[in-house]
Amino acid sequence: MPEIAWVNGRVTPLAEAVLPIDDRGTQYGDGVYEVLRSYGGRLFAPDRHFARLRRSAATIALPADPRVDVIESIVDDLVARAGFPESLVYVQVTRGTAPRSHLWPKGIVPNVVVTARPLAIDLARERREGVAVVLRPDLRWGRCDVKSLNLLPNVLARSEAQAAGAFEAVFVDRDGRVTEATTANVFAVRGGALVTPPQKPQLLPGVTRSVLLDLARSVALPLREEEVTREAFLAADEAILSSTTAELLPIVRADGRPIGTGRPGPVFARLEAAFRDAVKNAKDPFFGRRAAAAVEEGVR
């Protein structure tokens, strides 16, 4: 099956999908997005993703649009049409099309885009051996809890990480606290406890992060949401990345220094096993329609 796109109600092959040049997402990054994945044709944590999309849109005052109200059915239909065993779904809502001006006109209609393509990411070796990261200053805007299109600082930091031979870049704010990575949330392990920075405007409320928090509680893994300094991160027993596409990955080196033993550790192994079990058995609420409240309450 071809990669396909839904653009303002029209379904086309992905290569033929277009938006006007005056789309405000293109001109200003004036929009929000979500990335979802499916396992065996079923979307993972859909309610959490869609709730976050609506919250991001409301935060930047995107006008209400009936297509966003039925985005779940649009995505379900596109995934079914594509028919991939595992799909990567991208949803984008921009403020709309208008002559270039910082102020948008009254009555502007959002542009809504959904794409589906096969998920072609193989991170088995990285999961088995662990990944390296570099630490970089967090130069992003102050509302990273909004999943907006403004990703240039993330792009540049990830490029720097690749140039340094690392998998990811982890941001550190001006107070020396770890926030998150360019495409993932971050966990540290200290004394057997899983530690992750608390939810705040400087962090995206990650869906996989919220799933891992639920799984940690389900296996009675000690858990704390508290600030993690740069020094504490480097001195951690283990560290973990989490995201929709990468799932969870062990961090074994940071800025050229080993994290813990320099190998994936036992806490990662417990979480990984719990995650695989949830995916294999399609456990609710992760595949069901009962998890939106966790996101609405600010749980990442």
The residues annotated with a catalytic role in the active site are 147
**197, 71, 186: which is closest to 133 by C-alpha?**
186
Q: Chain centroid to CA 127: how far?
A: 18
Single-letter code of the amino acid located at 275: F
Rounded distance, CA 148 to CA 29, Å? 7
Q: Chain centroid to CA 198: how far?
A: 16
For 23, which DSSP code?
A: B
Instruction: Pick left, alpha or beta for residue 137 (phi over 0 → left; psi -120 to 50 → alpha; otherwise beta).
Output: beta
Q: Are 237 and 263 in contact (CB under 8 A)?
A: no
DSSP string, 141-171: -S-TTS-BS--HHHHHHHHHHHHTT-SEEEE
